[in-house]
Amino acid sequence: MNTLSAVLTNGQFNVVYNILSLGLASMLFTSIFLFVGRERVLPRYRMAVMVSGTVTAIATYHYFRMFDNFNHAFAGLTGNNPDAYNVGYRYVDWLLTVPLLLVELVAVLALAKAAQSSILNRLVPAAAAMIVLGYPGDAKLDIYGIDASVWGLLSTIPFLYILYVLFIELGKSLSRQSAAVQKKVKLLRLLLIATWGVYPITFILAMGNTQATADQFVAREVGYSIADILAKCLFGLIIFSIARIKSAEDDAEYAKTEFKDA
């Protein structure tokens, strides 16, 4: 779907090229680290680490597709042709990875099965709804004549519900976690707000334009990519650190072996 109204200068091309390359490398090597490192936590916490690795692996594929598509659209056979750039790759990626981000957060806490199911049964559908409702507005799709701002508003509703579940419902379970784990989880929640906040800000700045200018396109790609790196790679590494903390709390022998130099 074409959302760009102007061609890119060499400088603008290089900025987007480099940020997509950074995103691809970050996702790939975080995936490798997490899948290799899963053996360094107790079995009950490995699922959370593997979900984290799956998130970055999925993102690796989509960043490869975006990188290739960007080159094709602006440096390949089509030349500087905005029509060839597909913004849908990001939304397909988010539709798969955003619910999984919430799954890994809940899984690493090793909550009681009933509590875990209750929280996930609310978070996962809300996350999917947030992405599905946001796409038509960001891609400027003409669906039943609904304005982009309306799609943005509809997408905000499940976003606010997710925040409620994370801060209120999940917060009730944190009292049973150690101080070290509570600190990490609170950091993760703030990280989600900070990174997910980039998307509505970018959405609002583009409102009123049927097509983005070259500067807006570059700002969106850079903002989305940095937010993705933080929300997936950094988030996954913090999940890994929580899994190691909880493994040490559960098993004294593990703590002695893994943290003997700490």
44 located within any domain = yes
65 located within any domain = yes
43 located within any domain = yes
227 located within any domain = yes
Per-residue pLDDT, 79: 60
Sites in the chain below the pLDDT cut of 50: 1-2
Show Cβ contacts of residue 60 under 8 Å, excluding neighbours closer than 6 positions.
24, 27, 28, 31
4 located within any domain = no
CB–CB of 172/106 below 8 Å? no
Helices and strands, number each (H, E), in the chain: 11, 0
- For the CA atoms of 86, 102, 203, 217, the dihedral, rounded to the nearest 10 degrees, stands at -40
Dist. CA 197–CA 193, nearest whole Å: 6
Taking each helix axis as running N to C, give the angle between helix 43-74 and helix 10-37, from 0 to 180 degrees, rounded to the nearest 10. 160
The pLDDT tens digits for 61-81 are 999 999 999 988 887 655 676
Dist. CA 199–CA 230, nearest whole Å: 13
Structural domain harbouring 183? 10-258
Per-residue pLDDT, 210: 57
Per-residue pLDDT, 2: 46
**Domains identified in the chain, total number:** 1
Per-residue pLDDT, 153: 85
Query: What's the CATH code of the domain at 181?
Result: 1.20.1070.10
Question: Would the pTM of this model clear 0.85, i.e. be above it?
Answer: yes
Per-residue pLDDT, 27: 98
Taking each helix axis as running N to C, give the angle between helix 235-250 and helix 10-37, from 0 to 180 degrees, rounded to the nearest 10. 20
3 located within any domain = no
- For the CA atoms of 34, 39, 45, 50, the dihedral, rounded to the nearest 10 degrees, stands at 30
Per-residue pLDDT, 206: 61
247 located within any domain = yes
